[in-house]
Structure 1
Amino acid sequence: MKKTKLFAALLAGALLSGGPSAMACTNILVTKGASKTGSTMISYSADSHTLYGELYYRPAADYPAGTMMKVYEWDSGKLLGEIPQAAHTYSVVGNMNEHQLLIGESTWGGLHQLVDTTGIIDYGSLMYIALQRCRTAREAVEFMTKLVAEYGYASSGESISVADPNEVWVLEIIGKGTKIVDGKNVNKGAVWVARRIPDGMISAHANQARITTFPLNDPENCIYSPDVISFAREAGLYTGKDKDFDFAAVYNPFDYSGMRGCEGRVWSVFRQVTDGMDKYLDHVTGRNPKNRLPLWVKPSHKLTVKDVAEFMRNHYEGTELDMTCDPGAGAFKLPYRWRPMTFKVGDEEFFNERAIATQQTGWWYVGECRGWLPDPIGGVLWFGVDDAAGSPLTPFYCGIDRIPNAYAVGNGNMTTYSETSMFWVVNRVTNFAYQRYNIIQPDVKRAMDRFENRCFAEQPAVDGAAEMLYKQNPKLAIDFLTDYSVNTAQRLFDTWVALDRYLLVKYIDGNVKKEDAEGVFTDNGQGRGIPAMPDFPGYSEEWKAMVKEATGDRLKVVEATGKK
């Protein structure tokens, strides 16, 4: 299949799945034995050109018998139908509930003929309904799969990450298509398989199904729909033996985009934690679909929240896919490529690299679940908005009962600017930095590290104070953690407003003002607000050489030879 057709299929998969978040997200899954503190972790970037960065909050609630819940498609807002409401729902902050249940996802689309046009449970509903009704990862996997069996699955292929303080699971699911008999879809539901990540390992997924063959008799660590293999046979998708059944190969076969734009991101994580990953370069560059990455790897060192956050900020630095090392990076080594994903030169088509950190992220998080602490204290959602490489994380404890205005739903949207929205102020900073990335981004990264490192340093004291209060009265601990989370997020907002102004003053008009200290600009000696002569950093040597090559002698400075 030609690459033009591959990327048309990629776009079609995004449209079939219902919207903007499709084919774009990255998850990293960390088990207890792979983390430095003994926590489980999931990271998730919700990447979309139309998704607004805000922190969803759903308080716990009780409902009378007979109450119905309307189900809206997460991406489009379309009403899909309604289901019976639970008698009691748990509070949810972002993608973590009050019991430290944590969920993320990435869409892979899969075979287009398996989309169920009659289902009413989309992938977003799966996540957020499960968070409101489940306490553990295993319970959530079982609940989500039963829900789609009863009401139908309204999305395309999906990988869903699920963690609690003890276990980390990945669930891969796809519908069974639409076959109407007597007015009903006899293929309602989904085929799926879920695997528990072994303790001490990490996994990742990024818009490509990753579960291949799986154990058929290990219910402690692997569960699957009863018809996951038989349906494939009936649909003419598989003819081999049960033990050789490969879920990903059957329901989401590789194409160039799946290897280069999806598995490449998984590789960028794995190669930072274990040796030997370069042997998969032919796979992640789209040349060898058979040399696929493992589902999980054992990291060479225990990981922290900060480690995982930095993995989410990756642009393939230091590899042959490094996005700063070709002309597409421009004069200032920008590790981003504006969409569309491909471009043509004559009859040839080329690929714009797609790293984990991307400009169109709506929001992202690194969640940690810590079983040695009471639930309201143990679960922390480190949350950010916009591009992860330019977006600082701030902690939200899972037991809090209110959200700061800067992150609240309704404070601006993608077509309405808000001066009090964290999403908009982060976008002001990131989009300014994109203009001269290698010059401005170091200041942004320094501000991010300073804020995050302070939060990490404060965490033991915050945990300890909350534990003492919890022993007296859990409500006191929740009030304390809510105040801490809200006030810390507000401090970050204020810091980023100041950073936005500082960067504009320092880097206006392509110059770089001299500083006596950070934010204290060197005066020209007259004390009247006139700066010293700024620096003119100009362009990189590589860029100047390319300009010379492209223009020949047109820009060359020569001695005048004419006579007066």
Structure 2
Amino acid sequence: MIRDRSVRGVGAAACALAMTAAFVASAPACTSILVSRGASRDGSVMVTYSADAPFLPKLLRVAGGTHAPGTMVDVRAWEDDEVRGQVRQAETTHTVVGLMNEHQLSLVETTTGGRPELVDPDGQLDYDGLMMLVLQRAKTAREAIGLVDSLCREYGYSSSGETFSIADKREAWMMELIGKGPGGKGIVWVAARVPDGCISAHANMSRITTFPMDDPENWLYSPDVVTFAVDRGYYKTDSGKPFSYRDAYHPDKGASARRACAGRVWSVYRRSAPSANFSDAWFRGEEGSEDYPLFIKPDAQLSVADVMGLMRDHYEGTPYDMTKGVDAGPFGSPLRARDLTFKVDGEEFMWERPISTQQAGFVVVNQMRAGLPDAVGGVSWFTPDEASTSCFTPFYCAIDALPASYTNGDYGKFSWESAWWVTNLVSNLAYDRWSRVYPDVRKAQVEQEAALLKMQPVIEETAAKLAEADPALARTFLTNYSVSTADAVFRRWQALAQSVLTDHVDAYQKDARGVPKAPGYSPEWLRQVVAGRGGQLKLPARAAGTDH
């Protein structure tokens, strides 16, 4: 987080810390979708980020400003909060809200790991510190890509491989990077512009393989991206094969990695372009199957609501639907307790890994638009906890304040005044009795978000007019709207948690009059119970029908 002179961002830093725990538990974390202007219904560029790890995030706002020449900024390690070193402060820095700055630049990530020997423990910048420095200094995606490279060359990079989604109001780029190992300052990297009219996605697995080296309008890369791989023995020029970034720096991690990571990309693609009939073979690990393309054109342009829906996916409507089967329990819950992999009688198995997962700390859908003033065009739709059981609320990119409920809380103690804890309470009440409780949650979610999306054009028309005459007044207007809207969502979720507790108690479900009913279990699940334990549970014919 930005504390005193630190460069660390609250949300990103917490995610980094939590992802250590997530990877220790063999649970790859974070999903990102990129949507180009031509692929969105209203000409927005959009990027998403699900920070999937067990932690309590506090929504970030860092004020921009001017700084005296020679000012230095402490860089702290997220593992132990020790100062790694110092970075020269930029003379001018930009305000950051969430993971978007006041110029509508967004930067989010997923961790890809890659070759462990390329981690430089002495580098001053881990990826979250790097992201925050870039957001405070860059105005465009191309400028951000250059800054990622130059900062790592100057100060060293200490994290493992990453895939960044970097987007501004006109372009979306996917940038993959990895360090050069102990003593090797800098990174090797490649960046691809999402073609207009297309979308892409990444989820903890490197996506970029071969790429053109003569198309700087659409592809950028470090000068040594190939030669470094050759020097390290990761690529042989006489192999007869074209250079592949992923093959060189992120060797295949096996079937479990594909299942956990590529499955999320497949689900984004199959929902966005059902006409393409994308095969599940690659993510199921079938030999000889083809990877999913880096970019696809959706069947129809995507709205903000569509993209929010993609972030709520549990493979519904596919053979891997997590609300179906014995593992979904009696109430069809998509919850699967960690670890992802498990063994039974010496054989290894794996749960599906969805886009929407219970350990998410927060989710954002960042929306950037060239046709509006920056203060109006950039909005971060944010929700604490996971997307399927919570509500996105808008925070404009240049606002002056944040609501208290989104900036406080302690992972070690429940609080009714913390948005993260309240949304988690609703989530956990839904997980245990999904088929009964989730309809209540979904109803509140649809009503609240539909109202917010309906209000958005009205709010932005007013704000845009204010921005022409008085930019400061426009910021105040958008600040008041963002804070009051978030407060209203928070209060709605407080009420929702209380109503769920009241209406679904002791396995009863109250009707509209408040009378408790006993809905029991579904016939499908009872058949599964009888198949496994029918001999123990079966009553003699004479006793059948008796209840107590």
TM range (shorter): over 0.9
Shift of 1:501: 0.8
Structure 1 counterpart of 2:7: none
CA contact (8 A) 1:53 1:363 kept: yes
The change in CA–CA distance for 1:474 and 1:75 in structure 2 (over 3 A counts) is farther
User: CA separation in 2, counterparts of 1:286 and 1:122?
Assistant: 32
1:358 — aligned with what?
Answer: 357
Task: Answer yes or no: is 1:554 the counterpart of 2:533.
Answer: no
Deviation for aligned residue 1:63: 1.8
What displacement does 1:196 show?
0.6
Q: Which secondary structure state, in structure 2, belongs to the residue aligned with residue 268 of structure 1?
A: helix
Q: 1:126 aligned to 124, 130, 147, which one?
A: 130
Match of 2:57 in 1: 53
Q: Partner of 2:247 in structure 1?
A: 249
SS of the counterpart of 1:139? helix
The aligned counterpart of 2:427 is 430
Residue by residue, what CA displacement relative to the aligned partner does 1:167-224 show, whole Å, maximum 9, x if unpaired?
100100011112xxxxxx1x22111100111100000000000011011111111111
Q: Could you tell me whether the CA contact under 8 Å between 2:18 and 2:53 is conserved in 1?
A: no
Does structure 1 residue 30 correspond to structure 2 residue 35? yes
Residue 539 of structure 1: how far off its partner (Å): 1.4
2:186 matched to 1:189? yes
Which residue in 2 is equivalent to 1:541? 523
CA shift, 1:78, in A, is 4.3
SS in 1 for 2:280: helix
Deviation at 1:112, TM superposition (A): 1.1
Deviations 1:22-74 (A, max 9, x none): 6300000000000000010001001112x213211101122222211111234
Mapping for residues 327-406 of structure 1, pairs under 5 Å = 327-406=326-405
Contact in 2 for aligned 1:21/1:75 (Cα 8 Å): no
Indicate the residue corresponding to 2:213 in structure 1.
216
**Residues 407-556 of structure 1 mapped to structure 2, 5 A cutoff:** 407-408=406-407, 411-515=408-512, 522=513, 531-532=514-515, 534-556=516-538
Aligned residue pairs total: 523
Paired residues of 1:16 and 1:115 also in contact (CA < 8 A): no
The structure-2 alpha-carbon separation of the partners of 1:379 and 1:75, relative to structure 1 and needing over 3 Å to count, comes to farther
In the aligned structure 1, how far is the partner of 2:174 from the partner of 2:251?
A: 18
> 1:6 is matched with which residue?
none
TM-score scaled by structure 1? Answer: 0.90
Seen in structure 2, the aligned counterparts of structure 1 residues 27 and 144 have a Cα distance that, compared at 3 Å, is same
Shifted more, 107-116 versus 251-260: the winner is 251-260
Whole-Å separation in 2 of the counterparts to 1:18 and 1:53: 13
Q: Distance in 1 between matches of 2:273 and 2:163?
A: 23
In the alignment, structure 2 segments of 5+ residues that lack a partner are 1-14, 544-548
Q: Quote the offset at 1:114 in angstroms.
A: 1.2
> What is the deviation of 1:16?
12
Checking the alignment, whether the CA contact within 8 Å between 1:106 and 1:206 is kept in structure 2 is yes
Aligned to 1:85: 89
CA distance in 2: counterparts of 1:406 and 1:384, whole angstroms: 12
* CA deviation after TM superposition for structure 1 residue 290, in Å: 5.0
Q: Does structure 2 retain, via aligned residues, the 8 Å contact 1:261–1:353?
A: yes
Q: Which amino acid aligns with 2:40?
A: S
CA contact (8 A) 2:106 2:168 kept: yes
CA contact (8 A) 1:17 1:155 kept: no
Deviations 1:227-280 (A, max 9, x none): 111111111111036981110122112221221000100000000121465553
Shift of 1:388: 0.9
The 5 A counterparts of 1:197-276 are: 197-240=194-237, 244-254=242-252, 255-275=254-274
Is the contact made by 2:19 and 2:52 (CA closer than 8 Å) also made in structure 1?
Answer: no
Q: Distance in 2 between matches of 1:17 and 1:446?
A: 31
Q: For the structure 1 residues 464 and 63, does the alpha-carbon distance in structure 2 shift closer, same or farther, using more than 3 Å as the test?
A: same
Aligned CA distance change for structure 1 residues 243 and 342 (closer, same or farther; 3 Å): closer
Q: Distance in 2 between matches of 1:259 and 1:287?
A: 10
Distance between the aligned counterparts of 1:144 and 1:15, measured in 2?
A: 17
Contact kept in structure 2, 1:259 and 1:289, CA below 8 Å: no
Contact 1:18 1:76 in 2 (8 A): no
1-structure distance, mates of 2:190, 2:283: 24
Partner of 1:111: 115
Q: Secondary structure at the match of 1:83?
A: strand
Q: 1:170 to 1:140 in 2, by over 3 A?
A: same
Q: Structure 2: which amino acid aligns with 1:559?
A: A
* Counterpart Cα distance in 2 of 1:429 and 1:18: 23
CA distance in 2, matches of 1:510, 1:140: 53
> 1:317-349 CA distances to partner (integer Å, 9 max, x unpaired)?
111111122211111111121001111111101
Given the alignment of the two structures, is residue 136 of structure 1 paired with residue 118 of structure 2, yes or no? no
Percent of aligned positions that are identical: 45
Residue identity in the other structure for 2:369: R
2:149 aligned to 134, 145, 160, which one?
145
Alpha-carbon distance in 1 for matches of 2:511, 2:285? 46
Amino acid at match of 2:100: M
Aligned Cα RMSD in Å?
A: 1.8
Task: Note if contact 1:92-1:131 (Cα within 8 Å) is conserved in structure 2.
Answer: yes
Consecutive unaligned residues in structure 1, runs of 5 or more? 1-13, 179-184, 516-521, 523-530
SS at match of 1:283: coil
Structure 1 residue 560, shift from structure 2 partner: 4.7
Could you tell me how far 1:287 is from its partner in structure 2? Answer: 2.1
- Report the 3-state secondary structure (helix = DSSP H, G, I; strand = E; otherwise coil) of the residue aligned with 1:343: strand
Q: Quick check: 2:17–2:78 contact (8 Å CA) kept in 1?
A: no
What amino acid maps onto 1:45 in structure 2? Answer: S
After TM superposition, the structure 1 = structure 2 runs for residues 309-324 of structure 1, keeping only pairs within 5 Å, are 309-324=308-323
Quickly say closer, same or farther: Cα 1:165–1:20, change in 2 above 3 A: farther
- CA distance change for structure 1 residues 365 and 74 in 2, over 3 Å: closer, same or farther? farther
Q: Distance in 2 between matches of 1:108 and 1:142?
A: 21
The 8 Å contact of residues 168 and 197 in structure 1, kept in 2 or not, is answered as: yes
Q: What do the CA deviations read for 1:389-423 (whole angstroms, capped 9, x no partner)?
A: 11100001111010000111xx1121133321100
Counterpart Cα distance in 1 of 2:208 and 2:62: 32
Task: Measure, in 1, the Cα distance between the counterparts of 2:173 and 2:80.
Answer: 27
Q: CA deviation at 1:289?
A: 6.6
Rounded Cα–Cα distance in structure 2 between residues aligned with 1:427 and 1:353: 21
Normalising by structure 2, report the TM-score.
0.92
Say if 2:47 and 2:165, in contact at 8 Å, map to a contact too: yes
Question: Structure 1's 92 and 272: CA in aligned 2 closer, same or farther, altered over 3 A?
Answer: same
For residues 321 and 75 of structure 1, what CA distance do their matches in structure 2 show?
Answer: 36
